[in-house]
Amino acid sequence: MAPALRPVILSVRPGITDPATILLRNEQELLAEQPDPERFYVAELLPQKAQMYADYVNQRSLRGDMKLIVSTLRAIVRS
């Protein structure tokens, strides 16, 4: 994770859901396909998730949160 993203991410209280959780809901399957899951997580997934978290924090709004809730419910229903 880029060190500059850490204070941004930690500036808000964690929530129940976020865009990364929805987009990467099959994270376990992605990791299972990798020859070195830990390296893949640290080198690929973690930076992607950190950027998504920081983007969410920087762009958060009531409307965005409502969309996030709807997207989360859709993901749950489709599973």
Residue-wise pLDDT tens digits, 2-34: 789 999 999 999 888 999 999 999 999 999 999
Residue 5 or 1, more confident:
5
- For the chain, what is the mean pLDDT? 93
Distance CA 13, CA 17 (A): 12
| Reported confidence tier of residue 1, pLDDT bands at 50, 70, 90 | low
Cα–Cα distances in angstroms (integers) from residue 5 to residues 51, 64, 79, in the given order: 7, 20, 31
Structure tokens that stand for 61 in this block:
């709004």
pLDDT at position 70 over 80: yes
Residue 65: its H or E element: helix 62-78
Domain boundaries, the chain: 36-79
pTM, rounded to two decimals: 0.83
